[in-house]
Copies of this chain bind each other. A is one copy, B any other.
Amino acid sequence: MAAEHHETPDAETLANVVETGLHEGAIVTLQAECEVEYDGRTSGYLGPGDRLLVCKPDGTLLVHQPDGHKPVNWMPAGGTVSARESDGDLVVVARRVNPRERVEVRLIEAYGVTRYDADDAAEYEESGTEDEMHAYIEAHPDELEEGLRVVEHERETKYGFIDFFATDSEGNPVVVEVKRIQATLNHFDQLKRYVSLYEDNDEVRGMLVAPSASERVRRALRDSGLEFVELAEFDRDATGTTDAKLSDF
Protein backbone atom coordinates (compact mmCIF):
# COMPACT_ATOMS: atom_id res chain seq x y z
CA MET A 1 0.00 0.00 0.00
CA ALA A 2 1.76 3.13 -1.17
CA ALA A 3 -0.63 5.53 0.62
CA GLU A 4 -2.02 4.75 4.08
CA HIS A 5 -4.61 7.14 5.44
CA HIS A 6 -5.94 7.60 8.97
CA GLU A 7 -9.12 9.56 9.58
CA THR A 8 -9.36 11.94 12.56
CA PRO A 9 -6.25 10.45 14.17
CA ASP A 10 -5.47 11.06 17.85
CA ALA A 11 -2.23 12.73 18.92
CA GLU A 12 -0.47 9.42 19.56
CA THR A 13 -1.30 8.00 16.11
CA LEU A 14 -0.29 11.28 14.50
CA ALA A 15 3.04 11.42 16.30
CA ASN A 16 3.69 7.83 15.31
CA VAL A 17 2.79 8.30 11.62
CA VAL A 18 4.91 11.46 11.36
CA GLU A 19 7.96 10.12 13.21
CA THR A 20 7.96 6.60 11.75
CA GLY A 21 6.90 7.68 8.27
CA LEU A 22 9.59 10.33 7.87
CA HIS A 23 12.21 8.09 9.41
CA GLU A 24 11.34 5.38 6.87
CA GLY A 25 11.47 7.78 3.93
CA ALA A 26 7.76 8.44 3.37
CA ILE A 27 6.01 11.73 2.63
CA VAL A 28 3.46 12.56 5.33
CA THR A 29 0.52 14.88 4.62
CA LEU A 30 -1.86 16.16 7.27
CA GLN A 31 -5.18 17.93 7.06
CA ALA A 32 -5.65 19.83 10.30
CA GLU A 33 -6.79 22.93 12.09
CA CYS A 34 -3.62 24.37 13.50
CA GLU A 35 -1.71 27.45 14.58
CA VAL A 36 1.79 28.15 13.38
CA GLU A 37 4.72 30.11 14.68
CA TYR A 38 7.95 30.94 12.99
CA ASP A 39 11.12 32.02 14.67
CA GLY A 40 14.31 32.84 12.80
CA ARG A 41 15.27 35.85 10.73
CA THR A 42 12.00 37.36 11.94
CA SER A 43 9.17 36.10 14.11
CA GLY A 44 5.69 35.33 12.89
CA TYR A 45 2.38 33.92 13.94
CA LEU A 46 -0.52 32.42 12.02
CA GLY A 47 -3.69 32.04 14.07
CA PRO A 48 -5.95 28.96 14.00
CA GLY A 49 -7.26 27.76 10.63
CA ASP A 50 -7.52 24.66 8.41
CA ARG A 51 -4.31 23.90 6.57
CA LEU A 52 -2.57 21.20 4.59
CA LEU A 53 0.80 20.15 5.96
CA VAL A 54 3.37 18.34 3.83
CA CYS A 55 6.36 16.77 5.60
CA LYS A 56 9.15 15.18 3.59
CA PRO A 57 11.87 12.84 4.82
CA ASP A 58 14.59 15.34 3.83
CA GLY A 59 13.39 17.81 6.48
CA THR A 60 11.07 19.82 4.23
CA LEU A 61 7.92 21.19 5.88
CA LEU A 62 5.22 23.03 3.93
CA VAL A 63 2.17 24.69 5.47
CA HIS A 64 -0.46 25.41 2.82
CA GLN A 65 -3.54 27.56 3.22
CA PRO A 66 -6.49 26.97 0.87
CA ASP A 67 -5.24 29.63 -1.57
CA GLY A 68 -2.05 30.38 -3.43
CA HIS A 69 0.85 28.35 -4.73
CA LYS A 70 3.27 29.45 -2.03
CA PRO A 71 3.20 27.81 1.37
CA VAL A 72 2.41 30.33 4.14
CA ASN A 73 5.24 28.79 6.17
CA TRP A 74 7.92 26.39 5.13
CA MET A 75 11.30 24.97 5.93
CA PRO A 76 13.65 23.69 3.23
CA ALA A 77 15.48 20.37 3.18
CA GLY A 78 18.45 19.91 5.44
CA GLY A 79 16.91 20.19 8.87
CA THR A 80 14.65 17.85 10.77
CA VAL A 81 10.90 17.49 11.17
CA SER A 82 9.71 15.92 14.40
CA ALA A 83 6.45 15.49 16.28
CA ARG A 84 5.68 15.51 19.98
CA GLU A 85 2.58 15.48 22.13
CA SER A 86 1.87 18.46 24.35
CA ASP A 87 -1.27 18.69 26.51
CA GLY A 88 -3.04 16.18 24.24
CA ASP A 89 -2.25 18.20 21.10
CA LEU A 90 0.30 17.17 18.51
CA VAL A 91 3.07 19.67 17.83
CA VAL A 92 5.06 19.33 14.60
CA VAL A 93 8.40 21.11 14.65
CA ALA A 94 10.73 21.72 11.72
CA ARG A 95 14.09 23.21 12.53
CA ARG A 96 17.45 23.80 11.00
CA VAL A 97 20.71 25.19 12.29
CA ASN A 98 22.19 27.43 9.60
CA PRO A 99 20.48 29.85 9.60
CA ARG A 100 18.92 28.98 12.92
CA GLU A 101 15.16 28.88 12.37
CA ARG A 102 12.14 26.98 13.47
CA VAL A 103 8.54 26.45 12.36
CA GLU A 104 6.27 25.06 15.04
CA VAL A 105 2.76 23.84 14.22
CA ARG A 106 0.28 23.04 16.98
CA LEU A 107 -2.52 20.80 15.70
CA ILE A 108 -5.81 21.84 17.28
CA GLU A 109 -7.92 19.32 15.36
CA ALA A 110 -6.56 16.71 12.98
CA TYR A 111 -8.91 15.64 10.18
CA GLY A 112 -6.59 13.18 8.48
CA VAL A 113 -3.03 12.02 7.99
CA THR A 114 -1.55 10.07 5.08
CA ARG A 115 1.72 8.21 4.97
CA TYR A 116 2.91 7.97 1.38
CA ASP A 117 5.78 5.67 0.45
CA ALA A 118 6.66 7.37 -2.79
CA ASP A 119 9.19 5.96 -5.20
CA ASP A 120 10.41 8.48 -7.74
CA ALA A 121 13.74 8.51 -9.53
CA ALA A 122 12.66 10.63 -12.49
CA GLU A 123 14.15 14.02 -13.24
CA TYR A 124 12.42 16.90 -14.92
CA GLU A 125 13.79 17.49 -18.40
CA GLU A 126 13.42 20.94 -19.79
CA SER A 127 13.52 21.59 -23.51
CA GLY A 128 13.47 24.72 -25.59
CA THR A 129 10.25 26.02 -27.04
CA GLU A 130 8.09 24.40 -29.66
CA ASP A 131 8.39 27.59 -31.69
CA GLU A 132 12.00 26.69 -32.56
CA MET A 133 10.90 23.30 -33.80
CA HIS A 134 8.02 24.78 -35.80
CA ALA A 135 10.38 27.16 -37.56
CA TYR A 136 12.70 24.30 -38.39
CA ILE A 137 9.90 22.14 -39.79
CA GLU A 138 8.45 24.99 -41.79
CA ALA A 139 11.87 25.54 -43.38
CA HIS A 140 12.61 21.81 -43.84
CA PRO A 141 9.37 19.82 -44.32
CA ASP A 142 11.39 17.21 -46.25
CA GLU A 143 12.98 16.24 -42.94
CA LEU A 144 9.62 14.76 -41.92
CA GLU A 145 8.99 12.99 -45.21
CA GLU A 146 10.25 13.33 -48.76
CA GLY A 147 7.80 15.46 -50.75
CA LEU A 148 5.81 16.77 -47.78
CA ARG A 149 4.45 20.25 -48.38
CA VAL A 150 3.12 22.58 -45.68
CA VAL A 151 -0.32 23.94 -46.62
CA GLU A 152 -1.01 25.84 -43.41
CA HIS A 153 0.89 26.51 -40.20
CA GLU A 154 -1.39 26.54 -37.13
CA ARG A 155 -4.76 25.82 -38.65
CA GLU A 156 -7.57 26.67 -36.26
CA THR A 157 -10.17 23.96 -35.59
CA LYS A 158 -12.89 23.42 -33.02
CA TYR A 159 -10.37 21.36 -31.00
CA GLY A 160 -7.66 23.99 -31.08
CA PHE A 161 -4.77 24.66 -33.44
CA ILE A 162 -3.34 21.94 -35.68
CA ASP A 163 0.40 22.60 -35.80
CA PHE A 164 0.78 21.90 -39.53
CA PHE A 165 -1.77 20.99 -42.14
CA ALA A 166 0.25 19.45 -44.99
CA THR A 167 -0.02 17.27 -48.07
CA ASP A 168 2.16 14.30 -48.97
CA SER A 169 3.73 13.56 -52.36
CA GLU A 170 0.48 11.83 -53.45
CA GLY A 171 -1.54 14.90 -52.49
CA ASN A 172 -3.14 13.29 -49.43
CA PRO A 173 -3.80 15.53 -46.42
CA VAL A 174 -1.47 15.10 -43.43
CA VAL A 175 -2.23 16.42 -39.96
CA VAL A 176 1.09 17.10 -38.19
CA GLU A 177 1.32 17.53 -34.42
CA VAL A 178 4.70 18.69 -33.12
CA LYS A 179 6.05 18.14 -29.59
CA ARG A 180 9.27 19.49 -28.18
CA ILE A 181 9.47 16.75 -25.53
CA GLN A 182 9.29 12.97 -25.54
CA ALA A 183 5.90 12.01 -26.98
CA THR A 184 3.25 10.96 -24.44
CA LEU A 185 -0.18 9.37 -24.62
CA ASN A 186 -1.67 12.84 -24.20
CA HIS A 187 -0.06 13.84 -27.50
CA PHE A 188 -1.42 10.71 -29.14
CA ASP A 189 -4.91 11.65 -27.88
CA GLN A 190 -4.53 15.11 -29.26
CA LEU A 191 -3.42 13.98 -32.71
CA LYS A 192 -6.25 11.45 -32.85
CA ARG A 193 -8.74 14.19 -32.04
CA TYR A 194 -7.44 16.41 -34.83
CA VAL A 195 -7.41 13.60 -37.38
CA SER A 196 -11.01 12.74 -36.46
CA LEU A 197 -12.02 16.15 -37.86
CA TYR A 198 -11.14 14.85 -41.33
CA GLU A 199 -12.47 11.33 -40.99
CA ASP A 200 -14.76 11.74 -43.99
CA ASN A 201 -11.54 11.77 -46.00
CA ASP A 202 -10.20 8.19 -46.14
CA GLU A 203 -6.79 9.34 -47.24
CA VAL A 204 -6.06 11.63 -44.27
CA ARG A 205 -2.88 10.79 -42.38
CA GLY A 206 -1.81 11.79 -38.88
CA MET A 207 1.82 12.37 -37.95
CA LEU A 208 3.20 12.94 -34.46
CA VAL A 209 6.63 14.59 -34.54
CA ALA A 210 8.83 14.57 -31.42
CA PRO A 211 12.45 14.02 -30.37
CA SER A 212 11.53 10.56 -29.04
CA ALA A 213 8.63 8.33 -27.97
CA SER A 214 8.18 5.32 -25.70
CA GLU A 215 7.15 1.99 -27.16
CA ARG A 216 3.74 2.43 -25.50
CA VAL A 217 3.10 5.61 -27.47
CA ARG A 218 4.44 4.15 -30.72
CA ARG A 219 2.11 1.19 -30.32
CA ALA A 220 -0.92 3.38 -29.60
CA LEU A 221 -0.18 5.34 -32.77
CA ARG A 222 0.29 2.22 -34.92
CA ASP A 223 -2.92 0.67 -33.59
CA SER A 224 -4.82 3.78 -34.66
CA GLY A 225 -3.18 3.97 -38.08
CA LEU A 226 -1.18 7.04 -37.11
CA GLU A 227 2.54 7.66 -37.61
CA PHE A 228 5.47 8.71 -35.53
CA VAL A 229 8.36 10.77 -36.87
CA GLU A 230 11.41 11.09 -34.69
CA LEU A 231 13.25 14.38 -35.03
CA ALA A 232 16.32 13.30 -33.12
CA GLU A 233 18.05 16.61 -33.87
CA PHE A 234 15.86 18.02 -31.14
CA ASP A 235 16.74 15.39 -28.58
CA ARG A 236 18.62 16.42 -25.52
CA ASP A 237 22.20 15.98 -24.53
CA ALA A 238 23.25 14.12 -21.41
CA THR A 239 23.42 17.22 -19.24
CA GLY A 240 19.73 17.84 -19.57
CA THR A 241 19.99 20.95 -21.70
CA THR A 242 18.86 20.99 -25.27
CA ASP A 243 21.42 20.27 -27.95
CA ALA A 244 19.70 21.75 -30.91
CA LYS A 245 19.53 25.44 -31.60
CA LEU A 246 17.98 27.00 -34.66
CA SER A 247 21.37 28.46 -35.50
CA ASP A 248 22.76 24.91 -35.74
CA PHE A 249 20.79 24.23 -38.90
**A residues touching B (Cβ–Cβ < 8 Å)?**
1-3, 5, 7, 25, 27, 29, 31, 35-37, 39, 41-52, 54, 56-58, 60, 62, 64-69, 71-77, 86-87, 89, 91, 104, 106, 111-112, 114, 116-130, 179-182, 184-186, 189
Residues of B within 8 A of A118 (CB): 31, 49-52, 65-66
Q: Which of B87, B122, B181 contacts A49 (CB 8 A)?
A: B122
Query: With A5-B5, A43-B179, A186-B91 as given contacts, are A120 and B35 in contact (CB-CB < 8 Å)?
Result: no
Which residues of the partner chain B approach A181 to less than 8 Å between Cβ atoms? 37, 43-45
CB closest chain-B residue, reference A66 = B118
With both chains docked as a complex, state the minimum distance between the C-beta of A228 and any C-beta of chain B, in angstroms.
Answer: 16
One of B50, B89, B106, B114 near A120 (C-beta < 8 A):
B50
Other contacts beyond A2-B31, A52-B116, A66-B118: 14, CB < 8 A: A2-B50, A2-B112, A25-B66, A27-B64, A31-B116, A42-B126, A42-B127, A43-B128, A43-B181, A47-B122, A50-B117, A58-B68, A68-B77, A112-B114
User: Given the complex, which residues of B lie within 8 Å of A73, measured CB to CB?
Assistant: 124
Are A75's CB and B86's CB within 8 A? no
Does the CB pair B76–A69 fall under 8 Å?
yes
CB neighbours of A43 from chain B (8 A)? 126-130, 179-181
How many Å from the CB of A98 to the closest CB on chain B? 16
Query: Are B119's CB and A46's CB within 8 A?
Result: no
Docked-complex contact A184 and B7, CB < 8 angstroms: no
How far is A1 from B76 in the complex, measured between Cα atoms in Å? 31
Residues in B with CB closer than 8 Å to A45 are 124-125, 127, 181-182, 184
Q: Are A44 and B116 in contact (CB under 8 A)?
A: no
Query: Across the interface, which residues of B come within 8 angstroms of A41, CB to CB?
Result: 129
Q: Contacting A74 at CB < 8 Å: which of B69, B114, B121?
A: B69
Measured in the bound complex, the distance between the Cα atoms of B41 and A180 in whole Å is 12
Whole-angstrom distance between the Cβ of A101 and the nearest chain B Cβ: 11
